[in-house]
């Protein structure tokens, strides 16, 4: 008979369990589990932070034109598996060269100083172009193309302070005379027999006149339903081709055939010490009854009015149509090339007055004077801007 035998008790075991011990074990297990959970949460938060940092780095790398990770897929028993994800080595950051600061980055004082430097540079280039020959000017721009851009940047700044732009005046003249029949009194001159208007813009700068006139004629022809359309061509010449409207040339010799133009324009373009060579070239390319339009700064005329200038161009074969000095800054001239019958009639008239020899002598004297002193020093003074 076994004493103290109770169902569920094992008196032979050497392990004794008490009721409170089970509670303690359970508590320890909960504490351990909570500690483990806290550790996992901390690790997870740390990983998320690292992931965010790595994502930020990837964005920065993408902005630096780096490529994404390469992933190569290989075939294994008909199934595609990801073999590797091999990140490319991080490229070294390229240090971008410093760019020229814009006006927004400059302080007001710095902007003022930059304006003065640009103005000084413009005056220097302007003085060079007025005091050397056209051939030397072409060589100068070929050697230093940036001078042309600097000059016209400064020129645009000067134009903003003018009461009007002479280019706009010529464009308005073309628009006004286009209302009349070509080759009729008051109309634009055109080539025979198709009445084509051919304009040569000498020393065109950025060819703004060519652009404006082309746009006008295109609109005119588009609206000309049942009316006559205008056939036209515009040739723009200067020392550098800043756009596709321009042909590079020394304007004392341009690539046009004899008597192939109907209007030749010099808008503030009689620069250089040999500008009368430009006038001779315009006479060569103009068709009979073709017109020469000139606009110049008043202060350039040695006699203050431009009378000597007009007489000189008459010696070179042109007939004077009119002078417009209504603008306070500029004087505008119009000449035309007489046809052969008018030339012969004028010659006969001079011979009857015994003045033909005198005129020929004046022409010879002009050429002698040009050889001694360039016309850029006595007929038209260089346009030199004042230093402020």
Task: Give pTM, 2 decimals.
Answer: 0.70
pLDDT in the model for residue 260: 98
3-state secondary structure of 284: helix
Q: Is 231 in contact with 194 (CB distance < 8 Å)?
A: yes
Of 2-6, 210-214, 302-306, 353-357, the least confident: 2-6
Closest CA to 265 of 150, 377, 173: 173
State how far the Cα of 114 lies from the Cα of 108, in Å rounded to an integer.
Answer: 10
Position 67 pLDDT exceeds 70: no
Q: How confident is the model at residue 373 (pLDDT cuts 50, 70, 90)?
A: very high
Q: b/e map of 205-221 (b: 16 or more CB within 10 Å)? A: bbbbbbbbbbebbeebe
Is the pLDDT higher at 303 or at 3?
A: 303
Mean of pLDDT values over 204-210: 96
Position 309 pLDDT exceeds 90: yes
pLDDT in the model for residue 181: 93
Length of the chain: 388
The model's pLDDT over 6-48, given as tens digits with 9 standing for 90+, comes to 555 555 555 555 545 566 677 777 888 887 887 777 777 666 6
Position 169 pLDDT exceeds 90: yes
| Token pair in block for residue 53 | 């940092």
Beta bridge partners of 85: 71
Judging by DSSP bridges, how do beta strands 79-86 and 197-202 pair with one another? Answer: unpaired
State how far the Cα of 383 lies from the Cα of 381, in Å rounded to an integer.
Answer: 6
| Token pair in block for residue 248 | 């590079």
Which percentage of the chain shows pLDDT scores above 70?
74
Position 70 pLDDT exceeds 60: no
| Token pair in block for residue 164 | 């009007």
């Amino acid at each position: 008979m076994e004493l103290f035998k109770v169902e569920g008790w094992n008196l032979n075991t050497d392990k004794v369990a008490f009721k409170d011990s089970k509670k303690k074990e359970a508590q320890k297990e909960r504490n351990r589990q909570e500690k483990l959970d806290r550790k996992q949460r901390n690790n997870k938060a740390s990983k998320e932070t690292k992931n965010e940092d790595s994502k930020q780095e990837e964005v920065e790398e993408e902005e630096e034109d780096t490529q994404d990770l390469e992933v190569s897929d290989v075939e294994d028993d008909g199934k595609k598996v990801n073999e590797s994800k091999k990140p490319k080595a991080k490229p070294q950051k390229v240090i971008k060269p410093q760019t020229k600061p814009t006006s927004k980055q400059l302080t007001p004082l710095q902007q003022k100083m930059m304006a003065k430097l640009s103005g000084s540079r413009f005056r220097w280039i302007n003085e060079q172009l007025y005091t050397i020959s056209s051939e030397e000017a072409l060589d100068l721009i070929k050697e230093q193309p940036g001078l042309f851009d600097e000059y016209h940047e400064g020129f645009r700044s000067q134009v903003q302070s003018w009461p009007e732009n002479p280019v706009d005046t010529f464009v308005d003249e073309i628009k006004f005379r286009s209302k009349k029949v070509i080759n009729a009194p008051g109309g634009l001159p055109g080539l025979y027999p198709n009445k084509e208007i051919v304009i040569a813009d000498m020393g065109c700068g950025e060819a703004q006149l060519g652009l404006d006139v082309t746009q006008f004629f295109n609109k005119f022809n588009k609206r000309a339903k049942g009316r006559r359309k205008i056939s036209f061509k515009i040739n723009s010449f200067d020392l550098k081709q800043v756009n596709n409207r321009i042909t590079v040339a020394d304007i004392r010799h341009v690539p046009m055939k004899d008597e192939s133009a109907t209007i030749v324009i010099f808008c503030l373009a009689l620069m250089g010490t040999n500008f009368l060579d430009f006038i001779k070239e315009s006479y060569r390319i103009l068709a009979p009854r073709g017109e020469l339009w000139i606009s110049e700064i008043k202060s350039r005329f040695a006699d203050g009015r431009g009378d000597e200038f007009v007489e000189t161009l008459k010696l070179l074969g042109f007939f004077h149509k009119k002078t417009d000095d209504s603008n306070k800054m500029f004087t505008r001239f119009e000449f035309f090339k007489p046809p052969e019958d008018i030339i012969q009639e004028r010659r006969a008239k001079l011979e009857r007055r015994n003045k033909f020899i005198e005129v020929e002598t004046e022409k010879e004297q002009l050429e002698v004077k040009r050889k001694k002193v360039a016309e850029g020093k006595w007929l038209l003074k260089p346009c030199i801007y004042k230093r402020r």
